[in-house]
């Protein structure tokens, strides 16, 4: 559940998402959140967690090398085999 | 020492030169022969020399790839050249004013007979000299603010693309890739450069600028962070990373840049301009990416804490509700106090009644002991006496009432006896009044009739005087038309029109003649004297019948 005051979870960077998730967790752990609010922020926490996991999963494992022409200008990329 | 031998060679050559001819018959050489001879001599004598001097007039390699400059000290200078092939093997880049030790051979060109040293290898004249140069350059660039802490930008926490500027082969790129793969496999783009030798600085600078030139969202991935890396080496090996162009490119890079050049103890100028300096290429990889497993663990830890916390929240609240519910008194408890009061009161009610009854009984017993027959007797005779007194008084009152009644009856009786005569008198008086009133009424009516009659007579007289008939009496006639309407004007009469003439004594029909004026002579109807109409005379008796 997204409240209008908070930015959409999907626009957050990993760091921002983790930071907010930490805030939510510690607020809930302190236990000073109103009941209905606690449900709401719990749901946002879940969404943040999903977003973080998606960001982690999205990382692309790819290694490329810039291909240069004679003038030293990049022409494109090709796979790099470093070993 | 080659100098003595060289001198000897020259002497030898000179000797042969002079031996061939007497002063008078000197052998004649062509210039080419002489130059060639000198060249041979010089090259033989200075085939391998090592010379220390300061680079002067250095303008970088010529377009051909060769470099021409001079070496000098405080008293002399010698032209120097580094051929293209040698130049690319130099471990550092020559610079103006740099003190170097060059190894090579001296040669001349027969074309101009100038001699020069062809340098085959060259190195800075001791680390001190290079260090001094480095310090000087560092001071200059620092003065421009390129190393300011305010210019440093934070590295992205989780880069999607990492650009690496280094040699595509060798341990450095392998270490970086391995470490990145271990921590957080992401997209790595390598910009291959030479990391050593002349021109390496330019390549590194071009690579940094090239990465920055990649448009976001273009065909090539624009890195979120750059690593400029090279393995360890001597000061000369790393010299390319002290290149001013490299430092400027690193400082100008919009993409955050990590430098990892040489070992931890090796500082190059790019390290000062970079946003972060890593001690090793591996260290740079660690700075560039977080450990994915750690992040995942942190996320799942947070997730677990989130669930636990919200669960605990619910438990706490449930607990709170439960204990509050417990604290809420039961209905029995709530009613206990009033009930107890009620019970006590109810109990007291019975007891109170008994006590009250007992009290009353005691009171009654106390009173009843005083209740004796003689007491009652005394009271009775007392009452009897009072009753007798009442009786006497009542009798007297009744007697008085009777006497008063008898007197009122006899008085009424006497009054009744006189009543007929009183009534008779009243009747007489009434009869007299009626007779009087009748007489007065008659008189009044008669007087009224008289008065009214005289009024009528007077009115009639006035009426008679106003009637047109009176005019007729005076000899006038009233002309009427056929319909009986009066004709007032001669113009209204046409010839032959039927008319009626009314005189005082009756009506005559007439026909209007032609013209106007005098009537045709015809014996006019003699005007009869109208006697008084019998009608008015007949009115009076009629009126009399009204009364």
Residue B547's contacts (CB-CB under 8 Å, 6 or more residues apart) are B449
Question: Between A22, A33, A80, which is nearest B302 by CB?
Answer: A22
Residues of A in contact with B169 (CB under 8 A): 82
Q: Do B309 and A31 touch (CB under 8 A)?
A: yes
Task: Please state, as a whole number, how many other Cβ atoms lie within 10 Å of the Cβ of residue B317.
Answer: 13
Q: What b/e sequence results for B369-387 when a residue is b if at least 16 CB atoms lie within 10 Å of its CB, and e otherwise?
A: eeeeeeeeeeeeeeeeeee
Residue B197's contacts (CB-CB under 8 Å, 6 or more residues apart) are B88, B89, B90, B91, B240
**Based on the number of CB atoms within 10 Å of its own CB, is B243 exposed (0-12), middle (13-18) or buried (19 or more)?**
buried
Nearest residue of B to residue A24, measured between CA atoms: B306
Q: Do A42 and B306 touch (CB under 8 A)?
A: yes
pLDDT by 10s per residue, chain B, length 547: 445 555 555 555 555 555 555 566 788 888 888 888 888 999 999 999 999 998 988 888 888 889 999 999 888 999 999 998 888 888 777 888 888 899 999 998 878 888 899 999 888 886 667 787 888 889 999 999 989 988 899 999 889 899 999 999 889 999 999 999 999 989 999 999 988 877 888 899 999 999 999 988 888 889 999 999 999 888 778 888 988 899 999 999 999 999 999 888 888 899 999 999 999 999 999 999 999 888 889 899 999 998 888 888 888 889 988 998 888 877 888 888 888 888 888 888 888 888 888 999 998 888 887 777 777 788 888 889 999 999 999 999 999 999 999 999 999 988 888 888 888 999 999 999 999 999 999 999 999 999 999 999 988 888 887 877 777 888 888 888 888 888 888 888 888 888 888 888 888 888 888 766 555 555 555 544 444 444 444 444 444 444 4
The answer to whether B120 touches B104, Cβ cutoff 8 Å, is yes
Q: Do B299 and A52 touch (CB under 8 A)?
A: yes
Residues of A in contact with B321 (CB under 8 A): none
Q: Number of A to B CB contacts under 8 A, please give it.
A: 120
- What DSSP letter does each residue of B11-48 carry, written as one string? HHHHHHHHHHS-SSSPPPPPHHHHHHHHHHHHHHHTSS
Helix (H) or strand (E) holding B102: strand B99-109
Residues 9-68, chain A, touching B (beta carbon < 8 A): 13-15, 18, 21-22, 24-25, 28-29, 31, 33, 35, 38-39, 42, 45-46, 49, 52-53, 55-56, 58-66, 68
ipTM of predicted complex:
0.80
Which residue of B187, B313, B318 is the best one to mutate when testing the A interface, meaning the one whose CB has the most A CBs within 10 A? B313
Our CA-based measurement puts residue A29 at a distance from the nearest CA of chain B, in whole angstroms, of: 5
Q: Do A31 and B312 touch (CB under 8 A)?
A: yes
């Amino acid at each position: 559940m997204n409240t209008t005051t908070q930015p959409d979870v999907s626009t957050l960077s990993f760091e921002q998402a983790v930071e907010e998730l930490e805030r939510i967790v510690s607020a809930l752990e302190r236990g000073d959140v109103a009941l209905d609010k606690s449900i709401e922020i719990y749901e946002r926490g879940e969404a943040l967690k999903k977003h973080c996991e998606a960001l982690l999963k999205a990382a692309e494992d790819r290694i490329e090398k810039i291909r240069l022409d004679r003038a030293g200008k990049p022409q494109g990329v090709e796979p790099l085999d470093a070993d | 020492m080659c100098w003595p031998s060289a001198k000897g060679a020259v002497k030898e050559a000179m000797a042969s030169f002079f031996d061939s001819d007497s002063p008078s018959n000197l052998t004649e050489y062509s210039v080419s022969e002489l130059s060639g001879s000198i060249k041979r001599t010089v090259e033989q004598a200075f085939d391998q020399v090592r010379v220390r001097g300061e680079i002067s007039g250095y303008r970088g390699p010529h377009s051909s790839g060769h470099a021409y400059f001079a070496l000098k000290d405080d008293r002399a200078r010698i032209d120097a050249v580094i051929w293209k092939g040698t130049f690319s093997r130099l471990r550092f880049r020559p610079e103006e004013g740099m003190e170097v030790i060059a190894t090579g051979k001296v040669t001349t060109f027969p074309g101009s007979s100038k001699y020069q040293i062809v340098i085959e290898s060259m190195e800075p004249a001791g680390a001190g000299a290079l260090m001094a140069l480095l310090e000087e350059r560092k001071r200059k660039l620092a003065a421009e603010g390129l190393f300011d802490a305010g210019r440093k930008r934070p590295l992205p926490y989780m880069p999607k693309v990492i650009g690496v500027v280094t040699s595509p082969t060798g341990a450095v790129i392998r270490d970086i890739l391995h470490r990145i793969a271990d921590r957080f496999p992401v997209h790595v783009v390598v910009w291959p450069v030479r990391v050593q030798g002349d021109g390496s600085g330019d390549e590194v600078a071009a690579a940094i600028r090239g990465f920055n030139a990649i448009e976001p969202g273009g065909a090539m991935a624009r890195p979120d962070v750059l690593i400029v890396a090279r393995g360890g080496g001597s000061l000369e090996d790393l010299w390319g990373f002290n290149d001013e162009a490299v430092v400027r490119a690193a400082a100008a890079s919009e993409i955050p840049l990590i430098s990892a050049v040489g070992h931890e103890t090796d500082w190059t100028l790019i390290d000062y301009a970079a946003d972060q300096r890593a001690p090793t290429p591996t260290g740079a990889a660690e700075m560039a990416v977080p450990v994915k497993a750690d992040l995942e663990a942190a996320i799942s830890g947070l997730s677990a804490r989130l669930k636990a916390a919200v669960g605990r929240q619910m438990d706490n609240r449930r607990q709170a509700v439960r204990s509050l519910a417990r604290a809420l008194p039961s209905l029995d408890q709530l009613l206990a106090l009033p009930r107890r009061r009620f019970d006590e009161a109810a109990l007291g009610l019975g007891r109170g009644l008994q006590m009250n009854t007992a009290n009353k009984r005691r009171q009654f017993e106390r009173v009843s002991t005083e209740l004796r027959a003689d007491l009652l007797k005394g009271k009775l005779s007392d009452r009897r006496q009072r009753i007798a007194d009442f009786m006497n008084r009542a009798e007297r009152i009744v007697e008085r009432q009777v006497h008063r009644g008898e007197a009122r009856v006899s008085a009424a009786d006497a009054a009744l006896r006189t009543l007929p005569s009183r009534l008779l008198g009243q009747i007489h008086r009434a009869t007299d009044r009626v007779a009087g009133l009748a007489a007065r009424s008659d008189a009044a009516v008669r007087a009224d009739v008289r008065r009214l009659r005289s009024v009528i007579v007077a009115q009639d007289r006035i009426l008679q005087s106003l009637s047109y008939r009176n005019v007729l009496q005076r000899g006038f006639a009233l002309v009427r038309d056929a319909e009986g309407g009066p004709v007032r004007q001669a113009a209204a009469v046409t010839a032959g029109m039927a008319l009626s003439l009314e005189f005082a004594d009756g009506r005559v029909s007439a026909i209007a003649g032609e013209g106007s004026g005098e009537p045709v002579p015809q014996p006019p109807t003699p005007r009869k004297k109208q006697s008084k109409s019998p009608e008015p005379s007949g009115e009076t008796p009629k009126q009399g019948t009204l009364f």
